[in-house]
Structure 1
Amino acid sequence: MIDRARLAELTAREQRTFLERNPRSRAAYDRAEHLFGQVPMTWMNKKAGAFPLYLAEARGNRVTDIDGNVYLDFALGDTGAMGGHSPAPVVDAVQRRIGDSGGVTTMMPTEDAEWVGAELSRRFGLDVWSFSLTATDANRWAIRLVRALTGRSKILFHSYSYHGSVDESLIVVGADGEGTSRPGNVGAPVDVTLTSRVAEINDLDGLERQLAHGDVAAVLIEPALTNIGIVLPDPGYHEGVRELTRRHGALLIIDETHTFSAGPGGATKAWGLEPDVLVIGKAIAGGVPSGAYGLTREIADRVLGRTDLGLIDMGGVGGTLAGSPLSIAATRATLEHVLTDAAFTGMIEVADHYTDGVRRLFERFGLPWTISQLGARAEYRFVSPAPRNGTESDAAADAELEDFLHLYLTNRGILLTPFHNMALMSPVTTRDDVDAHLAVLEQALAELTA
């Protein structure tokens, strides 16, 4: 339904506008001779324009670049800034820890950690918690624990799921229905099929076939796919997953790093899930690096009862900066004052307004596209009906359309997550902000379909 020649023409126009609006960002990028890929982290090169925008400041859900352009930010650090940029309670807590109290890194616990652990237990239901600096590390350490407990070597994932840069997770379902390395996997230490198994979300038969091999220590999944477009579970899917894992002697790890948007206790609380281990990161510390994994009391007792595991020294399940006074202070401030139960209620209401508005625009312009919502986040895909698994969602990608829409929105002061078409609501995002976004999207679709 899209005239590709017109799409290319419009994209070229937006590229020219992008260059005109951002001379300082372009110059900064051109000067970056000592950075790998010209950026602090190579994923910052995921951009629709010819170069990334350079940050000057960010507050709440507003970002200003070094050219002075101000943006409504619906990316919010791809969930890392779900509480908004530099929320005052987090800033205050960090300043107290750095300034008044001192002691950013001491290798000593603080009393805040118990408060955070209790609050995470209230929200997610897991009994005891351990901290990291990223969800990637929390996933790695959880994987080590479940392997030690079960004596099994493999971890089972959803195809096209997202668990950071965990080596084992970079596996997808191949054309033959079996696992294969995800395209683009960089320097894998071993063939991923030696460490992992994979099944599509919403395919209980496929999950059971993989579990039947008897070598799966744990199923490690997102409750819904989030980094390949939002793919929601079918009714009854998670009940089936839990029944199959128990029947086949595998543990269940739920990664809530992105699905935390579903509510104050993530999808685990909202949907009544029963994991043995739960992993979370990114958003819980208001942008300060932090992650955590929670264990049921039974699992924790089994691990602590083992005398052969190096849990205190060099067992591969810890980091010097993990659970630092700074990250724990930021986590407490975020959970206690920013991403509260009441805040989630408001965020989800604003996301409802966004989803309804986008859906009406698709209907108005006769576009066979869909939008899926997961609490405070929503994402559209250029296909209808919505994909039911990761492979379908990957096949629905349209880089040309995505680049055009991202450029069009960016040139008019709206930022979406650069990796996909995700919009996330923070506690300070308003319906007026959403309406501003919808107005620009409407302009884009009108030009695209004219």
Structure 2
Amino acid sequence: MFPSMISRERLGSLRSAEEQRFADLHPRSAALAARARGPLLAGVPMPWMTRWPGGFPVFVDAAAGARLTDVDGNEYVDLCLGDTGAMTGHALPQVTAAIAQRAQAGLTTMLPSPDAVWVGEELARRFGLPTWQLAMSATDANRFVLRFARHLTGRPRIAVMDWCYHGTVDETLAVLDGDSVVARPGALGPQVPVAETTAVVPFNDLDALDRRLAVGDVACLLMEPALTNIGIVLPDRGYLEGVREVTRRHGVLLVNDETHTLCAGPGGATAAWGLEPDLLVVGKPIGGGVPCAAYGMSAEVADRLSGPMLGHEIDVAGVGGTLTGSALALAAVRATLSTCLREEDFAVAVPLAERFTSGVAGVIAEHGLDWHVQRLGCRAEYWFCPPPRDGAAAAAAVDEDLEGFLHLWCLNRGVLLTPFHNMALLSPHHTEADVDRHTGAFAGAIAALLAP
């Protein structure tokens, strides 16, 4: 996938220069990183924080709107936004006020607060599914939904898309190796062979889905309406309608994970594209940065679950968590959804993503590269190849050396992209100048790579 006109030797030389520039710009982050290597495993609170470009992580001092400032005083246009967790922007005044007010009245009680009713009604209005429950994270919500699906259908397996991502759910860390289901590369210590729990099918392949579901052992299909975590892979025309027909025909519950595809609009791709899932999961964006998630269900599913949910032993059913649905989380969700992620917010963010797409595409065309930029709502990403149609093709297109260089080049020029991807998420707090700053940095990187 690497263009023949770009020298690997030149790429390595440019990367070394950018590594030195990064070290020169971040002496305090370097010192903190050195201290952290003792008390923190891998020197970070979470291992994936090591995946950023540069010889050590950048330590953040403050974040507001669409800006980050690190401990060395460097400011960045934030096109990552907490990998969707801060999709609304950082440090929202209305969320901050709601959190402070709630803190003075108690953060968690194991009892519902008045905000719970408003949140349930608003989620139903946005996504079109009438009944909801809360979770601490989208990972938890997906775990709970998978339990419900197995309980309702009596079937042992779940199905996912090849190279999907649904958080740290054990059953979803699976890919195809030929016709075999195997653990996704990097998955640590699976409790059982993943082929015993999971069926895997390629995205955009209805025939493969039909054949696998016809076996009759799959409880639900958990999927994103468009793949996002292996890069943006959009559905073919008519594919999602076909998925709904196939799942219904085989008695398989359809679960849409909208945690990232919420970028398509206020009700995610489900509302934007008129989809009809049986269950829906949405995670981190809805709390304005406070950990929370939710999952909704059709009236039929809710009716079938109403008995088990009221059972005496529901506390040991594998669904819940003491801090789940806390007064703090519900206050944050209400403050966020009442003021953010609305039609008027997407009316600002989506045109910025279109501008990002156009700017990157212009640079690609100028240099005659066989690259592509893909957009989903207010999210955009560039590929070093034509757009893939499934997860395996997307995974094969990853070029870590080139990707790392472009990330580091942009970071050293004040633009923060989402790690693991060449992805940007736009919010109402961004400006056209922010987008153009990235386009300029991207153009400079490509010009440097292709210089004689």
Taking structure 2 as the reference length, what is the TM-score of the superposition?
Answer: 0.97
**C-alpha deviation, 1:427, in angstroms:** 1.6
Q: Which residue of 2 aligns with 1:428?
A: 429
Check the 8 A contact 2:256/2:280 in 1, yes or no: yes
Q: Which residue of 1 aligns with 2:188?
A: 186
Contact kept, 8 Å, 1:311 with 1:317, in 2: the verdict is: no
Find out whether 1:162 has 2:165 as its counterpart.
yes
Q: Distance in 1 between matches of 2:294 and 2:450?
A: 46
Alignment partner, residue 57 of structure 2: 52
**Structure 1 residue 308 displacement after superposition:** 9.3
Show the counterpart of 1:23: 27
> Structure 1 residue 93 and structure 2 residue 98: aligned?
yes
* 1:257-296 to 2 correspondences below 5 Å: 257-296=259-298
Helix, strand or coil: the match of 2:364? helix
Q: Choose which of 20, 37, 43 in structure 2 pairs with 1:38.
A: 43
Q: In 2, distance between residues paired with 1:347 and 1:178?
A: 41
1:332, 1:366 → 2: CA distance?
Answer: 48
Work out the number of aligned pairs and report it: 446
- Are 1:159 and 1:198, in contact at CA under 8 Å, matched by a contact in 2? yes
Judge conservation of contact 2:265–2:341 (CA < 8 Å) in 1: no
Q: Distance in 1 between matches of 2:366 and 2:150?
A: 52
Does the 8 Å contact 1:232/1:388 carry over to 2?
yes
CA contact (8 A) 2:308 2:314 kept: no
- Aligned pairs for 1:148-159 (under 5 A) are 148-159=151-162
Which residue number corresponds to residue 129 of structure 1? 132
Q: CA offsets, 1:388-420, max 9 Å, x none?
A: 000000000001101110110000100001121
Q: Distance in 2 between matches of 1:23 and 1:88?
A: 31
Residues of 2 paired with 1:278 and 1:103: CA distance?
30
- Matching residue of 2:326: 324
Do the aligned partners of 1:116 and 1:332 also contact (CA within 8 Å) in 2? yes
**Corresponding residue of 1:111:** 114
SS at 1:152's partner residue?
coil
Structure 1 distance, partners of 2:284, 2:309, is 33
1:14 matched to 2:18: yes
**1:294-349 Cα deviation digits (max 9, x unpaired):** 01111011011348966632111101111101011111111111222210111111
Q: 3-state SS of the aligned residue for 2:381?
A: strand
What CA distance in whole angstroms lies between the structure 2 residues aligned with 1:121 and 1:419? 33
Q: Does 1:444 align with 2:445?
A: yes
SS of the equivalent of 1:188 reads: coil
Q: 1:140 to 1:310 in 2, by over 3 A?
A: farther
Structure 1, residues 80-125: CA drift from partner, whole Å, max 9, x if none?
Answer: 00000111111111111113xx210111101111111111111111
SS at match of 2:282: strand
Matched, 1:394 2:399: no
Superposition RMSD on alpha carbons, in Å? 1.1
The separation in 2 between residues aligned to 1:179 and 1:39, in whole angstroms, is: 32
SS of equivalent to 1:240: helix
2:214 paired residue number: 212
1:66 corresponds in structure 2 to: 71
Runs of 4+ in structure 1 deviating by more than 6 angstroms, as ranges, are none
Q: Distance in 1 between matches of 2:355 and 2:151?
A: 46
The answer as to whether partners of 1:268 and 1:274 remain within 8 angstroms in 2 is: yes
Query: How many Å separate the matches in 2 of 1:310 and 1:447?
Result: 66
CA shift digits 1:421-448 (9 cap, x unpaired): 1100012111111011111111111111
- In the TM superposition, what whole-angstrom CA distance separates every residue of 1:375-397 from its partner, at most 9, and x where no partner exists? 0100111112x100000000000
- How far apart are the structure 1 equivalents of 2:309 and 2:61? 51
Residues 220, 310 of structure 1: alpha-carbon distance in 2 compared, 3 angstrom cutoff: farther
Q: Equivalences for 1:348-387 in 2 at 5 Å?
A: 348-384=350-386, 386-387=387-388
Gaps of 5+ in 2: none
Q: Judge which range, 133-142 or 339-348, deviates more.
A: 339-348
Query: 1:2-45 CA distances to partner (integer Å, 9 max, x unpaired)?
Result: 11111111000000000110011011010011111110011101
Structure 1: runs of 5+ lacking an equivalent = none
1:146 aligns with 2:115: no
Structure 2 CA distance, aligned partners of 1:349 and 1:224? 20
Contact 1:339/1:427 (<8 A) preserved = no
Distance 1:366 1:309 in 2: 63
Equivalent in 247, 271, 275 of residue 245 of structure 1: 247
Contact kept? 1:63, 1:71, Cα under 8 Å: yes
CA distance in structure 2 between the aligned counterparts of 1:55 and 1:311, rounded to whole angstroms: 44
Matched AA of 2:148? L
Which residue does the alignment assign to 2:345?
343
Residues 448, 309 of structure 1: alpha-carbon distance in 2 compared, 3 angstrom cutoff = farther
The amino acid that maps onto 2:18 is E
In structure 2, what is the equivalent of residue 225 of structure 1?
Answer: 227
Alpha-carbon distance in structure 1 between the residues aligned to 2:177 and 2:234: 21
